[in-house]
């Protein structure tokens, strides 16, 4: 058993979409450097592993501000090699040495094909470990207590860490899973459904997504995002040269305009603007900020498609463009961005006007 070095540095485990490990680590380190220089030696990044480990001094990371991280876990110990015939004993010993009690036990694996092969083991191991931890008085039912994470990147390794319920994702593996609705015309509907749950709490949803509101969906076809709005009783102008499919083709709450989304503007302001067009992030950013400056929308959810290289630089340029323009216009707003589980080479952004 090898304990992680804790005197000079604190190690943080972050889950991410496979292929975005460098972006995830780079973003976390950049956030930390805004507080003070990072002098800790950095662990290697494993490409396409679905996770990254970063070493910090005493800097704190704000999960809500991390775009590429699905989860934020303070890493306490790594056990490697993990005995194949008795994984329970060394894991229990490592947890017993931790000072905290925990309110939940989450056994997790990377969101990769190799990770999925461990699912059967996880189902067998979870009740055994949970029962032992309750007997040790380490595990209780408490929403405010830190969560205990046991992460298995492979069969011979266990990373043991904890997360703060107020500074982490509330879903196992940091994945807010959605079921595909039978009537929705495309799987893209899951992106908007996840975005709504991620960015807008239930109380806000009742206020911001009310029946009778109006919305514009730019690049709507075949209608996955329009469907999410219509099912909430929102009247949608769907703008796309392509056709809408299924129930949306003749839906009474949908007006379909075969126009270019970059050229369309409504005659009067709407409550919502949503946009999932395949275009350079800088061009989409200019489009969105133009709508807000003109007072054409109160709230927006949109995707920024990322380039193959310099993804963080392109994303920051687009977001900074929006922030700068809205700040210069004296517009009060809240902006959040996240690479969601249902996103691919993209990041989803939420903007809402706020009061002073």
| Active-site residue set | 305
8 A C-beta contact, residue 276 and residue 190:
no
What are the φ and ψ backbone dihedral angles of 226, each rounded to 5 degrees?
-60, -40
3-state secondary structure of 56: strand
Cα torsion angle, 113, 117, 118, 123, sign: positive
How far apart are the C-alpha atoms of 245 and 323, rounded to whole Å?
A: 35
How far apart are the C-alpha atoms of 352 and 117, rounded to whole Å?
A: 41
Look up residue 326 and give its two tokens: 């809205």
> Residue 29 belongs to what H/E stretch?
helix 21-33
8 A C-beta contact, residue 281 and residue 318:
yes
CA distances from 96 to 34, 256, 293 (A): 35, 61, 56
β-strands 214-218, 10-15: how paired? Answer: unpaired
Tokens 């003070």 label which residue? 36
- Angle subtended at Cα 261 by Cα 266 and Cα 289, rounded to the nearest 5 degrees: 70
Q: Write the DSSP assignment of 203-266 as a string of letters.
A: HHHHHHS-TT-EEEEET-TT-HHHHHHHTTT-EEEEE-SSPP-GGGGG-TTEEEE-S-TTT---
């Amino acid at each position: 058993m090898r304990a992680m070095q804790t005197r000079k540095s604190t190690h943080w485990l972050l889950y991410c979409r496979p292929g975005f490990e460098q972006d995830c680590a780079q973003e976390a380190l950049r956030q930390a450097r805004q507080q003070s220089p990072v002098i800790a030696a950095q662990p290697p990044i494993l490409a396409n592993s679905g996770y990254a480990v970063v070493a910090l001094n005493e800097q704190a990371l704000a999960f809500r501000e991390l775009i590429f991280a699905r989860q934020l876990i303070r890493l306490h110990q790594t056990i490697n090699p993990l005995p194949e015939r008795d994984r329970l004993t060394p894991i229990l010993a490592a947890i017993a040495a931790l000072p905290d009690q925990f309110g939940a036990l989450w056994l997790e694996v990377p969101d990769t094909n190799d990770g999925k092969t461990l699912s059967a083991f996880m189902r067998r191991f979870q009740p055994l470990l949970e029962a032992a931890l309750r007997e040790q008085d380490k595990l209780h039912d408490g929403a405010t207590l830190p969560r205990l994470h046991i992460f298995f990147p492979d069969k011979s390794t266990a990373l043991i860490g904890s997360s703060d319920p107020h500074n982490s994702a509330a879903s196992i593996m940091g994945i807010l899973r959605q079921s595909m609705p039978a009537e929705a015309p495309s799987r893209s509907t899951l992106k908007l459904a996840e975005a709504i749950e991620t960015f807008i709490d239930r109380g806000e949803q009742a206020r911001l997504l009310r029946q009778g509101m109006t919305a514009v969906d730019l690049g709507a076809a075949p209608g996955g995002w329009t469907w999410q709005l219509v099912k909430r009783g929102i009247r949608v102008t769907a703008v796309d040269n392509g056709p809408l499919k299924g129930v949306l083709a003749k839906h009474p709450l949908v007006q379909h305009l075969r126009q270019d989304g970059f050229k369309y503007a409504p005659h009067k302001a709407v409550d919502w603007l949503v946009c999932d067009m395949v275009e350079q992030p800088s061009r989409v950013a200019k489009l969105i900020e133009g709508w807000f400056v003109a007072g054409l929308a109160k709230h927006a959810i949109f995707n920024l498609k990322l380039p193959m290289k310099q993804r963080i630089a392109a994303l920051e340029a687009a977001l900074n463009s929006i922030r700068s323009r809205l700040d210069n216009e004296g517009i009060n707003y809240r902006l959040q961005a996240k690479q969601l589980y249902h996103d691919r080479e993209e990041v989803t952004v939420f903007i809402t006007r706020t009061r002073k």
